[in-house]
Structure 1
Amino acid sequence: MTIIIVIFAAVSLFRLVFLRKSSQNEQDILAKGGMEYGVKNSTIMKYLHMLFYAVCFLELLLKKPAFDFVSLLGAVLLLFSMFMLYLVAKLLGPVWTIKLMLVKDHKFVDHWLFRNVKHPNYFLNVVPELVGLALLSHAYFALFILFPLYCITLYVRIKEEEQLLKEVIIPNGIAGE
Structure 2
Amino acid sequence: MKIFLTILFVFIILQRLIELIIASKNEQWMLAKGGVEIEPHQHKWFIMVHGLFFISIIVELILSNASIPELFILWFSLFIATQFVRIWSITSLGKYWNTKIIILPGSTLVKRGPYKYVKHPNYIIVGIELFVIPMMFGAYWTAVIFPFFHLILMSIRIPAEEKALTSLND
Asked if TM exceeds 0.5, the reply is yes
Query: Which residue of 2 is the match for residue 11 of structure 1?
Result: 12
Alignment: residue pair count: 169
Provide the rounded CA distance (Å) in 2 between the counterparts of 1:108 and 1:12: 30
For residues 114-125 of structure 1, what are the structure 2 equivalents within 5 Å? 114-123=115-124, 125=125
C-alpha root-mean-square deviation of aligned residues, in Å?
A: 1.9
Provide the rounded CA distance (Å) in 2 between the counterparts of 1:100 and 1:74: 31
Percent identity of equivalent pairs: 28
Instruction: Structure 2: state its 5+ residue gaps.
Output: none
Say whether residues 1:71 and 2:72 are aligned partners.
yes
- When structure 1 is superposed on structure 2, of 51-60 and 76-85 the one drifting more is 76-85
For residues 36-55 of structure 1, what are the structure 2 equivalents within 5 Å? 36-55=37-56
Per the alignment, in what secondary structure is the counterpart of residue 15 of structure 2? helix
Using the TM superposition, give the Cα deviation of residue 135 of structure 1 relative to its aligned residue in structure 2, in angstroms. 0.5
Using the TM superposition, give the Cα deviation of residue 2 of structure 1 relative to its aligned residue in structure 2, in angstroms. 2.7
Query: Which residue of 1 is the match for residue 130 of structure 2?
Result: 130
TM-score by length of 1: 0.85
Using the TM superposition, give the Cα deviation of residue 58 of structure 1 relative to its aligned residue in structure 2, in angstroms. 2.0
TM-score by length of 2: 0.88
Question: In the alignment, is the contact (CA less than 8 A) between 2:35 and 2:104 conserved in 1?
Answer: yes
Say whether residues 1:168 and 2:167 are aligned partners.
yes
Provide the rounded CA distance (Å) in 1 between the counterparts of 2:129 and 2:145: 16
Q: Deviations over 1:17-63 (max 9, x none)?
A: 11110111111111221111122222112211110111112222333
Query: Which residue of 1 is the match for residue 97 of structure 2?
Result: 96
Query: Which residue of 2 is the match for residue 141 of structure 1?
Result: 141
